[in-house]
Structure 1
Amino acid sequence: MYFYKINTKSSANGIFLLFVVFVLYNVKADDVSVVNSALPPTCYTCEGANCLRVTKLNTTTDCTDPLDYCVTIFKGFTVVARGCYAELTPSLRQRCDSDSHPECTKCIGNRCNNKGRADFKCIECNSSYNNKCLTDVIILPGVECPIPTAPNSYCYVRQNTDGTTERGCLVHQREQRECLSNAQCSMCVSDFTEACNTYKITTRITSGVDSLLRNYNVNTIIKISLMFITVLRYD
């Protein structure tokens, strides 16, 4: 944490500086775009069903307050809102009032709210470029997934026709359906642990659905089935 020397003769300036320190300490700085503090940030925005539409994925809004920041609100793993914190409804903002609520991600930067939940990560690699994707997967770090447009997020392992293995995130409905129809593609749910896609696909896999279900108990299978009923409701 950074400490600032505050002029005791100006209580107004002191309060303002303390507020800036609080904001910077409690939100994640964007790695790509740094906000000009004199200008309000630009955030990706959506609400409700629009958050599940790929055509609305890159819609943005300009915040009105230079001290505002971008947020993404989840219900479970489904995005229910994105935008400027100060411009969201109080019922949505309350999830961001906690420092560590898993259903709210905060960031400082233009269009920085383009990631999924911070507690959901997958291994992302291709054995064409990284041999550890085949031999030492367990030592590879999990990465935060892109913003999902599907109601649920999954990790995957796919064996390509050229013999290479690919691992990563599946956050869009079309990609998830393609994996389900591919006998050499397997999806998994992290269940709040990092990087579930560390296993190896074998030649005995008969379908993507079979691959997904073989790795989980009955309760998890029921949960996944209910998830996909929700997936099929959206295009």
Structure 2
Amino acid sequence: MLQSGLFLVSLAILLGSQEISGVISTEVRNAADLPKCYSCEGVNCMRTTRQNATVSCSDKLDVCVTIYEDFAVSERGCFSEISLAGQAKCAAKDNQCQKCSGQLCNNQGRRDFKCIQCIGSESASCNMGATGSLTASQCGLPTSANSYCYVKVVGSQKDQLQRGCALSVKEQQSCKEDSECSLCIPDNSSDSVACNNFDLDLSSKSGADQGQKLISLGLASIALLFLKVLN
């Protein structure tokens, strides 16, 4: 009698463990299928330290979304969990709402935030500006309230141009303080046209550099001559 009782208890424990195991494995499997999105709200969306914060959606059919105020990011997360104001922008099919399907897909700027992105050392047409066959492409996620494209002179000889997206306040400020860098606003950009398709005059800058070198050599020669006279 005792042995049969122990057998029944063991059987119940075994069946119970299998049932629990089945429930857990189903939950784990469902969790793996849940969308995961980058998440932020308000001023946190402009902090680089918060760019990689994420959230898992509670519904497998949910999508990731980014909400903008003009071109600045104001909110990111699962569509079902963002603010009603953000959802209203999406319902109105406003450019300030951008939805996407896929894991951590909401890491881009607005679809109409496009700049030419290239460097002259890798593409000769990058140095040609409007006369080259340059194509604009969507920029990454900005952390600034303002979004700009840029063109700047680069290279050890200052004979190459680089074009791209100025996404952060630091990048924008650096360009503003650089006489060999120019910013432009990406309004009305398209796949074939972007505001940063203009040229910076490399020849004049090279000429100025050469002139500075000649002046430096001249001053050095005068200094040497002066030393010889003193000796």
Q: TM-score, normalised by structure 1?
A: 0.68
Matched, 1:169 2:137: no
Hey, what's the Cα distance between the residues in 2 that align with 1:76 and 1:101? Answer: 11
Indicate the residue corresponding to 1:109 in structure 2: 102
Indicate the residue corresponding to 1:201 in structure 2: 200
Indicate the residue corresponding to 2:180 in structure 1: 184
Hey, what's the Cα distance between the residues in 2 that align with 1:205 and 1:89? Answer: 52
Q: What CA deviation, in whole Å up to 9, does each residue of 1:68-114 have, x standing for no partner? A: 0000000111111000000112121111113x411011100111000
In 2, are the aligned partners of 1:71 and 1:107 still within 8 Å (CA)? yes
Indicate the residue corresponding to 1:150 in structure 2: 144
Q: What CA deviation, in whole Å up to 9, does each residue of 1:143-197 have, x standing for no partner? A: 1011110001100001014221100000111111111111100000022233100
Aligned length: 170
Indicate the residue corresponding to 2:87 in structure 1: 93
Q: TM-score, normalised by structure 2?
A: 0.69
Q: What CA deviation, in whole Å up to 9, does each residue of 1:182-216 have, x standing for no partner? A: 1100000022233100001126999xxxxxxxxxx
Hey, what's the Cα distance between the residues in 1 that align with 2:129 and 2:71? Answer: 29
Indicate the residue corresponding to 2:226 in structure 1: none
Indicate the residue corresponding to 2:60 in structure 1: 66
Hey, what's the Cα distance between the residues in 2 that align with 1:83 and 1:94? Answer: 15
Question: Per residue, is there more helix in 1 or in 2?
Answer: 2
In 1, are the aligned partners of 2:151 and 2:200 still within 8 Å (CA)? yes
1:139 aligned counterpart, secondary structure? coil
Matched, 1:57 2:51: yes
- Which segments of 5 or more consecutive residues in structure 2 lack a partner in the other structure? 1-29, 206-231
In 1, are the aligned partners of 2:144 and 2:169 still within 8 Å (CA)? yes
Q: What CA deviation, in whole Å up to 9, does each residue of 1:111-152 have, x standing for no partner? A: 100000101200000111111101365522211011110001
In 2, are the aligned partners of 1:38 and 1:66 still within 8 Å (CA)? no
Query: RMSD of aligned C-alpha atoms?
Result: 2.1
Matched, 1:82 2:76: yes
State the AA in 2 paired with 1:173: V
Q: Work out which of the two has the higher radius of gyration on C-alpha atoms and give 1 or 2.
A: 2
In 1, are the aligned partners of 2:160 and 2:202 still within 8 Å (CA)? no
Identity %: 41
In 1, are the aligned partners of 2:72 and 2:144 still within 8 Å (CA)? yes
